[in-house]
């Protein structure tokens, strides 16, 4: 479920660009609906409350997949390569491109690159943390984190936690 929310939200800016690019009203509405779903997905990720108190965690390992950005941004060329009034065949080709790209991102576990979350000033890190029991997964944070960071986290979903607060360094 988390991966689907991440994938959906990552495509939101792309579908906003397609709304602007397409002339056909039905395509604009369809793209606007998908963009709205992406905004809802991002809201679910960011606003999930989990246990209100949160739980402490010290980060042992932190990976930021910023290096994947260049490859991911190739997807965002699509609005500039599309025609403003596509035929049915064009639309099928665009959908095929997005399905293939989404499948590659899904299988390559490249969902950390998320333009919408970045616009909302959040970053997604792959971490190993210790809050009594070792935990490996994704951590959503509006602040930079490094190994050794002590923070309070809330569960968003299995495999995803959000930083609620970061303890000051001693």
3-state secondary structure of 39: helix
pLDDT digits (tens, 9 = 90+) for 76-125: 676 667 778 888 888 888 888 888 888 877 776 677 788 888 889 998 89
> Which residues fall within 8 angstroms of residue 102, CB to CB, at 6 or more apart?
7, 11
3-state secondary structure of 125: strand
The answer, as to whether pTM is greater than 0.85, is no
Every domain of the chain and the residues it spans: 2-166
């Amino acid at each position: 479920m988390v991966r689907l929310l991440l994938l959906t939200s990552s495509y939101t800016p792309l579908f906003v660009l397609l709304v602007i690019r397409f002339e056909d009203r039905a395509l604009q509405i369809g793209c606007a609906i998908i963009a709205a779903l992406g905004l809802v997905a991002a809201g679910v990720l960011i606003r999930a409350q989990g246990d209100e108190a949160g739980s402490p965690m010290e980060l042992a390992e932190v990976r930021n997949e910023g290096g994947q950005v260049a490859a991911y941004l190739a997807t965002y060329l699509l609005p500039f390569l599309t025609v403003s009034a596509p035929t049915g065949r064009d639309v099928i080709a665009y959908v095929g491109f997005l399905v293939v790209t989404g499948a590659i991102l899904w299988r390559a576990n490249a969902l950390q690159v998320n333009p919408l979350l970045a616009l909302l000033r959040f970053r997604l890190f792959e971490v190993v943390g210790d809050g009594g029991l070792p935990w490996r997964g994704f951590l959503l944070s509006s602040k930079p984190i490094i190994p050794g960071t002590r923070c309070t986290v809330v569960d968003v979903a299995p495999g995803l936690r959000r930083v609620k607060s970061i303890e000051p360094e001693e």
